[in-house]
Amino acid sequence: MSTKTDQQVLDKANSWLNGNYDEETKRIIREMMENNPEELVESFYKDLEFGTGGLRGIMGVGSNRMNKYTVGAATQGFTNYLKKNFPGLEQIKVAIAHDSRNNSRYFAEITADVFSANGIKVYLFEDLRPTPELSFAIRHLGCQGGIVITASHNPKEYNGYKAYWEDGGQLISPHDKNVIDEVNKIGSIDEVNFNGNKELIEIIGKEVDEVYLQKIKELSLSPEVIRKNKDFKIVYTPLHGTGITLVPQSLKNFGFENVTIVEEQAVADGNFPTVVSPNPEEPAALELAIKKAKEIGADLVMATDPDADRVGIAVRNGDDFVLLNGNQAASLLINYLLTKWNENGKLTGNEYIVKTIVTSELLFDIADKYNIEHFDVLTGFKYIADIIKRYEGKKTFIGGGEESYGYLVGDFVRDKDAVISCSMIAETAVWAADKGVSMLEMLKDLYMEFGFYKEKLISVVRKGKSGAEEIKKIMDDFRSNPPESLGGSPVVVIKDYQSSVSNNLVTGEETPIDLPKSNVLQFFTKEGSKVSVRPSGTEPKIKFYFGIKGTLESRDDYDKVNNALSAKIDSIVKELGL
């Protein structure tokens, strides 16, 4: 750390010591100055950045930490923007929810105080609630914005602050950048009004839960199948998070009477004591649930992340369980939805589904079978929400998903929703069972019909300033020297979302990409494989998404083809020098 940086840190820390901060905060700063200079640097070397999704960081004292003051400044900035956007509105309203993390309730109450101190009406959930219910509440209560305090599946030291707009979706252009500008204008803590007006804070809870759960129940497409198979055995774990508040109730509402909850993980606890990471994408997070499922002979395991917007599943395979990735779960869910909409005579030709550009093309193959319109969007569920908003009242959204374990059915929520997803995935599983097949067998049948899609994600971490430069060079090299073939198949289409151009290398035709500019490259091969490359927007890493396509002749060939496709991905990884 340079002398100049050291001085900047000391100047920032001293500004807190001399400012209107509480005595406990000042005591901790003095202690860091005397005994822990490294922590002082980490806490003050920069300001915690309000990004396009809000705040996320380690909790503690300092300008680079999640605390009362950084949360207060973010809320004041968002407040100022809301007032600029809705000047003629007699009463601006917001909804606030929080997860089970340490300090989440405290940060939610600070947020409520700052909004109400500025004359904004606040609907504050009485206790922890899933993030998607916050999205629902914004629209249900006629709010202009919303906040959820969560750091999703980050380690226990973290917390976060996600901002939503009046449509119930997370902030997108131009609001995201404009809110950032307003937050960055807050030059002093003295500009933040922490003196909450209790008359403007209304506590909400069960009354919103009931409406939300009823809307979810109305999504059910096979109630008679559930009645017939009401004892279908399910194991569910909320991983110490908010899912416990509503997922079991929603499953009960659907008619499932044999749901076993992993009791050790049913306790809301921001320390997440039974898992290394409360992330349903990690196999270890489902270990306790799978163990329980084996004990009781269950057929389906579901695990939700701490804020209950994503769900991971495991399905029975003989005496064991197989974890399904986000692409596979999304494919099974979309196939179920479209098949049932078709069987129930609900398709009018005006329906559509949405996925992100890095999600499996299998979803579109299934949609094409039923002549369902489909849309690709950039990575991030807020872009799926934007499509729903754009076609509201014009077209009917059936469902959508992203490879990172987030799915949505119906349009009354505008974010990925694990409460809905658990209910509809359970219905998909019981529908398959009623036909005499397992979820895994149904997936194999999809591969036989449309092609075997095998996906893999590799993240290359490159930290610091030199890492950022290296990531930039990797992207530059791919643009100037794109691969001519991948896995032995020629590259036939290159999509560059930064220049918004799709280049067909066979015909030489260039077509515009009608999506916001983003630093993403995609390479499509002649045989239907896809490789996507994008730097992460939140972490010092560059992500490579591999989607390889093969042929599956029979269920019995699954393991052989699966292994061959895995080997093919490994060879492409080597080709790319990863």
DSSP state string for 121-143? EEEEESS---HHHHHHHHHHTT-
pLDDT at 538: 64
pLDDT at 464: 73
Answer yes or no: same fold for 46-204 and 209-450: yes
Is 499 one of the catalytic residues? no
pLDDT average, residue stretch 2-26: 88
**pLDDT at position 175 over 50:** yes
Question: What CATH code is assigned to 452-575?
Answer: 3.30.310.50
User: Measuring CA to CA, which residue among 357, 524, 407, 542 is closest to residue 463?
Assistant: 542
pLDDT average, residue stretch 15-39: 96
**pLDDT at position 200 over 60:** yes
Dump pLDDT digits (tens) for 270-301: 999 999 999 999 999 999 999 999 999 999 99
**Helix ranges (DSSP H) in 297-438:** 326-343, 362-369, 381-390, 418-434
Q: Domains of the chain: which residue ranges?
A: 46-204, 209-450, 452-575
Rounded to an integer, what distance in angstroms lies between the CA atom of residue 487 and that of residue 569? 7
Residue 12: which pLDDT band, with cuts at 50, 70 and 90? Answer: very high
pLDDT at 577: 86
Residue 441: which pLDDT band, with cuts at 50, 70 and 90? Answer: very high
Residue 208, classified by CB atoms within 10 Å of its CB into exposed (0-12), middle (13-18) or buried (19+), is buried
Residue 6: which pLDDT band, with cuts at 50, 70 and 90? Answer: confident
Query: Mind giving me the DSSP string for 210-238?
Result: HHHHHHHHTT-S-HHHHHHTTT--EEEE-
**pLDDT at position 56 over 80:** yes
β-partners of residue 551 are none
**pLDDT at position 497 over 60:** yes
Q: Give 206's contacts (C-beta < 8 A, 6+ positions apart).
A: none
**pLDDT at position 337 over 90:** yes
CATH label, 209-450, candidates 3.40.50.300, 1.10.760.10, 3.40.120.10, 3.30.450.60 = 3.40.120.10
pLDDT at 3: 53
**pLDDT at position 2 over 60:** no
Rounded to an integer, what distance in angstroms lies between the CA atom of residue 388 and that of residue 394? 10
Q: Give 547's contacts (C-beta < 8 A, 6+ positions apart).
A: 327, 360, 361, 453, 454, 455, 529, 530, 531, 532
Q: Considering 152, 360, 423, 438, which one is annotated as catalytic?
A: 152
**pLDDT at position 5 over 70:** no
Domain 46-204 CATH superfamily? Alpha-D-Glucose-1,6-Bisphosphate, subunit A, domain 3 (3.40.120.10)
- How long a stretch of residues is the chain? 578
Please state whether the predicted TM-score (pTM) of the whole model is above 0.85: yes
- Tally of helices (H runs) and strands (E runs) in the chain: 18, 23
- With helix as H, strand as E and coil as C, how does 62-110 read? CCCCECHHHHHHHHHHHHHHHHHHCCCCCCCEEEEEECCCCCHHHHHHH
pLDDT at 1: 44
> How confident is the prediction for the chain on average, in pLDDT?
96
SS3 564: helix
SS3 35: helix
Rounded to an integer, what distance in angstroms lies between the CA atom of residue 493 and that of residue 180? 36
| Residue 490 per-residue DSSP state | E
